[in-house]
Structure 1
Amino acid sequence: WRLDEVAEMFASAVREAEAAFGRGECFVEQFLDRPRHIEAQILADKHGKVVVVGTRDCSLQRRNQKLVEEAPAPFISEEQRARIHQSAQDICAKAGYVGAGTVEFLLSQDGTLSFLEVNTRLQVEHPVTEETTGVDLVIEQLRIADGLPLSFSETPTPRGHSFEFRINAEDAGKGFLPTPGQITEFLPPSGPGVRLDSGVVSGSSVPSTFDSMMAKLIVTGATREQAITRARRALAEFNIEGIASVLPFHRAVMDHADFTSADRFGVHTRWIETDFAAQITIAPRNAQSGNPEVLRTFVEIDGKRHELGLPAALLRGMSLNAAGPASESAGASEAVDPQAVLTPVAGNLHTWVVEDGESVSVGQVIAVVEAMKMETSILAPCAGHVNITQPAGTYFEAGSLIGRIKTVN
């Protein structure tokens, strides 16, 4: 991040904390270079027994939200694994913790292990631990609640390797923008080692008011290599129509050496933004629009991705990665009105971060939309003075006009 972005990022963190917890305090912590996110699954009964069930790697994230998790955590030394296990056990024992929980750490490139937090519940990614240990974490949690001792007393020996892919209604090519709407087709994969936990079917609607996750795809193999092979096949078979999903992103990740190499692990918590963003393409449209002469493409300006609507004739014969015809709601209007400020996603216009009439530069953050538990910044499409036409605190559909930028001649 650039220094001039810190103030807005801090304000965004405060807003997110206030919305989620009613309190906006933020902590300043030591910077860790390209850290991995590694966590330990623990179970603690009412009789003082704390057992670490296993480790997970959750480094593949966007906006500090996990996308892919795996167990056991790969490419860490036995000494590091022992430190993680012991630290998790000591923290929970000292706190007198009872129940299922996750002790989360950051592991820096230099080997620094930094405590992050304890999640006092089963995590979304708990199935990968179940698949690789044979422990039913839900049953153990119920046993603990009933006052019974844990059914085992030592960390199980891992059996195989497991990945979990969060199948979110998001367009990775648009900065993982949520894409609420109706699912016209939902065809999950099957086969050896494939498990699906889903909350949707064909015909389901994904609202803009909740989390964007539709399903969890869990793929397990006898080794990490076999699990990768099975995951590639399962992701290739998975088909979702009607709304954009992160399936194309998952497929691309499973073909990237930073994640799948047999002798190294190159992924870290900001890997998507720093190493992979340029390889992400917009999700394909499912239907032709009424204006096939306007195509979509992306350009990067000062590290920020911007969507452009361009005449098809301009792109013919060029190597630009145009994503296809624009939708009617966000196609021709954007192309012919470069001064319009439009909502990129359906959601609540949380705040304007500039004043009406304020001078702004192209690409500057001018407003924030909140949708599906995430904040999405609205950038100035051009330089000029902001004319705010819609107030904050109102819900808008994607592509709604909320203001304009008056250019200065």
Structure 2
Amino acid sequence: MRLLSSLAAAVLPVLVAGANPSADVYLFPQPSADAARDVPSLPKEVARHILLQRTSRQRYGSDLRDLPSSIDTETAITHIARFGRSPTALFASSQQEHASQLVVLLEGATPEQSRRLQGEIGANAAFTISDPPSAAANKNLLSLFQTMGIASSRQCDLESAINPLNSDCWSGSSSVVKYDLQKSAETLDALLGNVKRLNNVVSDGLLEVLVVVLPESSRHAKANHWSATAAAELRRRQDAETVLSDAGLFKADVPKAPAGTPAPTAPKKRIPKCFTSLNSCVNQTNSCSGHGECVDRYAVGGSGRNDSASAADAGSAARCFVCQCRATRVELGDDAPTKGRRTVRWGGAMCQKEDVSVEFWLLAGFTVVMIGVVSGAISLLYSVGEEKLPGVIGAGVSRSK
């Protein structure tokens, strides 16, 4: 009988550990007393959305198609709104408006460490994660936050992590850190020793903290991702507003244009300085936009023209074909001030731009000359006006005696 009791005492912890107990999640500031009585158990997919909603620096558009069948969408949205980032009050101060967000992942917690943490915090967990994933899933989740620019690639100690003014652990208004309590048990002591300091920073409105305590029994769980979405499902969701997966990169699709807006055109290719053949020059420039012809820049004699032999040998690597623009004569319409024809000169790599350099220099030169003439005339008049007038000649005028 004693042997059976000993075996039961030895096997029971193993069975409990194999049951993969839930993970506790604590919030700072802590929920109200009424809300603390209700501790919901959420699947890991909903918890992942809560983490992303709290830490996302931009507006996070949740795509809830990865939710399991055990929870409906309306209930999941309620929990995300309840445990996600608190909305900014209408007349909130600048500190409350810019409260930083910190997520702490404590991996490999033993039951004794979990009870110790709950006792020091003095409050129950805000919610629990019913199916915490494996250590590989936590690593993938941290890689996702690193891709988003929220988590740092270097390890920060906990005392530095809870200081939002520390630039080594913070690169913006959000930060995510992960610690393995089996490898660094002093992390738990550091957290418990800074609970009072953490509460003071949170009460000042400078920081909001979410602590996820992952049990040691979940280290080798079957789930390798926080999201149940497979790779094929991720490719199918490329048309979603925001694709967030701890199995891939963070991508934000460009929002669709409203109805009636013309579709954006594809960027134009850059015209090369030289075409290797005459045909490529003609085809890619549309015969120099009809305002010139393709010629060999290094043609013999410098004339730039190509004969039939040059065209036949256009594929040679030593040739460089470019557009040589020609002036065209344009008939003026009936609406023009003057009737007749005018000469239009063209420029650009494809002769697609009207060359107005001659008109520009004529206008600029005329303007400079006129400014010089007017300035000279004003200066001459000013200098003449400044000269002293000659005295009154009174030699021939005498008073009669």
One fold, TM greater than 0.5? no
Q: Which one has more relative contact order, counting CA pairs under 8 Å at least 6 apart?
A: 2
Going by fraction, where is helix more abundant, 1 or 2? 2
Instruction: Find the structure with the greater CA-based Rg.
Output: 2
With the length of structure 2 as denominator, give the TM-score of the two structures.
0.20
With the length of structure 1 as denominator, give the TM-score of the two structures.
0.20
